[in-house]
Structure 1
Amino acid sequence: MPPGQGPSASRADLRPAFSYVVAGLVFVSGFVTMALEFSASRLLVPVFGSSIETWGVLIGIILAALAAGYHLGGRLADDRRRPATLQRLCSVIFSAGLYIVLVPLAIWPAAETYADPASAASLALFTLMLVAPPSVLLGIVSPYAVKLAASTLATIGIKTGNLYSVATAGSIAGTFGTVFLLVPALQITHIVLAIGLALAVPAAAFMPGKIPKALAGLLFILAVISSVPAGSALSLALGSGEGVHYFDGNVVAGRLVYEAQTPYSQLQVVDSQGPNTAGSEIGYSSLRSLYLNGDLHSRMYVDRPDELAVTYTRYFPLGFVFNPEAERVLFVGGGGFSGPKYFVSAYPEVQVDVVEIDPVVIQAAREHFAVPEDEPRLSIYNDDGRRFLLSGGRQYDIIVLDAYSKSYVPFHLMTAEYYRLLDESLAPGGVVVSNHIGSVGDALYSYETSKLWRAAYKTMAGEFDSVQVFPTRSGGGITQNIMLVAGDRELGEDAIRERRAGRSQ
């Protein structure tokens, strides 16, 4: 046999292609590791809230699972009874992809049904179910790949460094790709399906036999079918169409009108039937609700879009009680634009500005909550509430703060510096109406659920001459919306009643 044409030469010729295959699988695994973390957060937040505890549990469990995978991968790579092969590596990657594909189809819907939003143990358990198994499998990939790629001890350091660089590059691509491409373009269920297929399909190509390839093809077809909007049982399982939806542990029966992943939250618009609480009629009305990360942020009567359908929003006009001559109003936080629409409809002399940080919320409000496009007295700005005021030159008679929810509060909108900025942005006699969630009273439960709004009260009191508290429901031991009205003067109960009576006539 001529020199250079023996079996060893053939293996040498194949070595570069083999290295590229291994590196490609490592890159994809790194990509999916980060994409899975961001995707898992979008599944957990609607149920357990966007708190530091939720993120801490999620990151901690993923790191623990990866550590276990690294250890297991090293042991498997050095197991003499089962020599390291590309096919065995692909079987690990295929298994991780298969599990991830099953997450939105079966694993998470079942877990979500039995989750307890108030339980830390429930959060830990369902996070384990969601991310631990695939993270352990993905942790196996890098040390196992090093074993495959390193042919001699003389180059093992170079091979190890190169592969971990490739894995890190994949994680970087997964971070930016998920945040800036996948989340804005796809629903979360489709993102999870896509990253699962990104593991399963290439891994199946290098596995022996027809079964893995057939299964990968079936999963691909299933993902394509699930992406088609339809009223099928599969579409319902993925969270679209008529049916029962779960938000923050609460069951909402209705039709999912619209769903999107925004730069800041998971957004759903749901139509349902509910009690008519705004007018004098007795009965039920068609309601349209906006949910962000599982929290109700706005609700509208479909046949009366300018009315205020949620109790706490009927306290927004408190600003006119304190400043009857108000002409310029600013809302920080748009949601479904219930307050701005009502102000424009009820007060013909008022100019309303709304600053909303999330562009998808603005789009959803225009398309699904009857926000007028051509109303000259309503101006909408896509900006951060603090940055908007820092741009300067604006003075308002009333500023309504409605950018908070029970699971997330933008901390930079609750600082002394921000309240000072609000005070500077008020015209003479102007007031700030700020919406918070908590409870009032002296009971231990009330104290534990009132820390946040009481802290806001103390901070506001350091910047304004007067801060008054208006619970929106009776009873001190219940969690409710609490309105804080801050300005340069305090009104007594009799004066408030007289001014309210005067405006209602």
Structure 2
Amino acid sequence: MLLKILHGKIILFVVCITGLSVLVIEVVATRILSPYFGNTIYTYSSIISVILTALSFGYYLGGRVSDACPYEKYFYGIIFLSGFFSFFIEYIIVWFLEPMSKNISFVYGPLVFSLGLFFLPSFFLGMLTPFAITLQNIKFPESGIGKISGEVFFWSTFGSIVGGLVTGFYLIPNFGVDAIIIGVSCLLAAIGFIGLFAYSIQTKYLYVLLFIFSLFAAFSMVQTKIFKQYGFLYEGEGIYEKILVYDKDYEGRPARFLRSELNSSSAMYLDSDDMLFEYSKYYSLYSLFNKNPKHILVLGGGAYSIPKKYLSEISDAMVDVIEFEPTLYSIAKKYFKLEDSLRLKNYIEDARKFLLTTDNTYDVIFNDVYLSLYSVPSHVITKEFFLLAKSKLNDGGIIIMNLIGDIYPGEKSLVVSGMATFDSVFENTYFFATDDPKKIEVQNIILLGINSNQKIDFQDVLIKENINETIKNLEKQLIRKEDIPINQALVFTDNFVPTEMYTATMLERSLH
């Protein structure tokens, strides 16, 4: 009787572990796909829909199989298969994800890869819940199917809750995606193997399974290690993204890059203090309005290139930096020459939340929170956000914003709608193209909002003969409002901000 009860508890424990595994895979899935397709509604919707679809089919088939073959060896065999196919997630990541993602739509790519990566492991894990109910019902018919079903679903769901929390709060911050996937695969395969051994599958078949599993496990670990590119100064998982630091030449000069989501988000030259990316040079716009701003806010730290410039050029300025990725501050100090300063305050917080809660006001706000071409945080490009930012500007203060996109004259232009939204809040605005104002392909666009009536006189000798090339060429880079349909563009609001759809449309245009 004791052994019978123990077997019943083991089934519930196993169901808890498999439920945990489902959520570990689901949460990690976003970290797998987001570097290639962005943290967008398409990515999240695809992952959730594919995993739920796989589970639902698994529930259906698992119920049928458990009625036809209600034996523990099949139950544990399915667990072994779920672990085996989880290894294929790692293979697809290493060998296929990056090269194939370049040729697949930004909209449908997450769906295609979610099917290829996560469907089979989730399908087999879904089969286990009805199978466990059948096995428990055979062992404890006196308990009733209702009680048994409730217990199985309770422990499965409880495992999923633990899996979601453990992955978000512990696994991702401390381990890489590769280690998490391989760890879950090994755990599932080990449980399945032990169950098969306990329920007397023929020994020779067991050894074959162990041999195949060991080969896949060893090769997965080795290939992952081989595939990783050598030469990275830093490689690690942040709270929100994978982060790489590496050196390479840029325009014939030695440079250091910070990369996240497959984009070089920040960089610096190693042989001088010159700003590397063209858009970052527009930090100097402050000099046209206030040569000695006292309080500066930088939204988005990255490698802290912009804060470093403000600190070095303005001797008594206080600089607040808002960066939601905690690891970047220490990375900037170690690899990008950021020095400790009493004039620099670093806040680990969302940009909009900080603006909502702070009592500080600023002479300059530099907004560079857009992660990549694929990931535009929708809550920091709406009219409500710009109104909030404006309320934190002192009289005569300015806001400088970097936006990535194309100046497309038709509908569904992210940049043009961003300009229209910005223009609806700031009465005095200027827009600059870092490449060419006549170019309709993707480039960095600088939005300048002035909290006063002060205009820029592009004919002023202080501009035309300025030693700063960015200031000197402002008129050349100016996007004239009469040349773009701002008045016809959608103004983004918290209620309606279709950034993902506009980004997808922009990427489709760039392919034609």
1:457 to 411, 419, 428: 419
Question: After superposition, where does 1:108-147 map in structure 2 within 5 Å?
Answer: 108-115=94-101, 116-147=103-134
User: For the structure 1 residues 153 and 480, does the alpha-carbon distance in structure 2 shift closer, same or farther, using more than 3 Å as the test?
Assistant: farther
**CA displacement, residues 97-150 of structure 1 (integer Å, 9 cap, x when unaligned):** 122123224555323322225354443222211001111111101011111111
Residue 263 of structure 2 corresponds to residue 295 of structure 1: yes
Aligned residues: 455
Distance 1:59 1:23 in 2: 25
Residue 485 of structure 2 corresponds to residue 499 of structure 1: no
Give how far 1:416 is off. 3.1
User: For the structure 1 residues 73 and 441, does the alpha-carbon distance in structure 2 shift closer, same or farther, using more than 3 Å as the test?
Assistant: closer
Contact 2:88 2:117 (8 Å CA) reproduced: no
Question: After superposition, where does 1:324-473 map in structure 2 within 5 Å?
Answer: 324-373=291-340, 375-405=341-371, 406-442=373-409, 444=410, 447-448=411-412, 450-451=413-414, 453-473=415-435
Contact 1:187 1:259 (8 Å CA) reproduced: no
**Aligned counterpart, 2:281:** 314
Give how far 1:387 is off. 3.0
Structure 2 regions of 5+ residues with no counterpart? Answer: 470-512
Distance 2:63 2:168 in 1: 32
Query: Could you tell me which amino acid in structure 2 is paired with residue 147 of structure 1?
Result: T
Distance 2:33 2:286 in 1: 37
Distance 1:411 1:110 in 2: 30
Higher mean C-alpha displacement, 164-173 vs 339-348: 339-348
Residue 96 of structure 2 corresponds to residue 99 of structure 1: no
Contact 1:355 1:380 (8 Å CA) reproduced: yes
User: For the structure 1 residues 63 and 393, does the alpha-carbon distance in structure 2 shift closer, same or farther, using more than 3 Å as the test?
Assistant: closer
User: For the structure 1 residues 468 and 490, does the alpha-carbon distance in structure 2 shift closer, same or farther, using more than 3 Å as the test?
Assistant: farther
Distance 1:497 1:61 in 2: 61
Residue 243 of structure 2 corresponds to residue 267 of structure 1: yes
Distance 1:500 1:486 in 2: 21
Distance 1:154 1:171 in 2: 25
TM-score, normalization by structure 1: 0.84
Residue 225 of structure 2 corresponds to residue 210 of structure 1: no
Distance 1:139 1:367 in 2: 46
Give how far 1:370 is off. 1.7
Contact 1:197 1:219 (8 Å CA) reproduced: no
Distance 2:466 2:249 in 1: 34
**Aligned counterpart, 1:170:** 159
Contact 1:322 1:491 (8 Å CA) reproduced: no
Query: Could you tell me which amino acid in structure 2 is paired with residue 91 of structure 1?
Result: G
Higher mean C-alpha displacement, 171-180 vs 110-119: 110-119
Structure 1 regions of 5+ residues with no counterpart? Answer: 1-11, 227-231, 243-254, 276-283
Contact 2:367 2:400 (8 Å CA) reproduced: yes
User: For the structure 1 residues 212 and 432, does the alpha-carbon distance in structure 2 shift closer, same or farther, using more than 3 Å as the test?
Assistant: same
Contact 1:331 1:402 (8 Å CA) reproduced: yes
**Aligned counterpart, 1:198:** 187
Query: Could you tell me which amino acid in structure 2 is paired with residue 486 of structure 1?
Result: G
Residue 450 of structure 2 corresponds to residue 482 of structure 1: no
- Report SS of the residue matched to 1:462: helix
1:235 to 214, 225, 231: 225
Distance 1:351 1:119 in 2: 40
Give how far 1:349 is off. 4.5
TM-score, normalization by structure 2: 0.82
- Report SS of the residue matched to 2:258: strand
Contact 2:383 2:422 (8 Å CA) reproduced: yes
Query: Could you tell me which amino acid in structure 1 is paired with residue 262 of structure 2?
Result: G
User: For the structure 1 residues 353 and 293, does the alpha-carbon distance in structure 2 shift closer, same or farther, using more than 3 Å as the test?
Assistant: same
Give how far 1:496 is off. 6.5
Give how far 1:331 is off. 0.5
Give how far 1:52 is off. 0.6
User: For the structure 1 residues 302 and 100, does the alpha-carbon distance in structure 2 shift closer, same or farther, using more than 3 Å as the test?
Assistant: farther
Contact 1:323 1:431 (8 Å CA) reproduced: no
**Aligned counterpart, 1:72:** 61
User: For the structure 1 residues 33 and 54, does the alpha-carbon distance in structure 2 shift closer, same or farther, using more than 3 Å as the test?
Assistant: same
- Report SS of the residue matched to 1:256: coil
Distance 1:30 1:139 in 2: 9
Distance 2:461 2:188 in 1: 65
Give how far 1:173 is off. 0.5
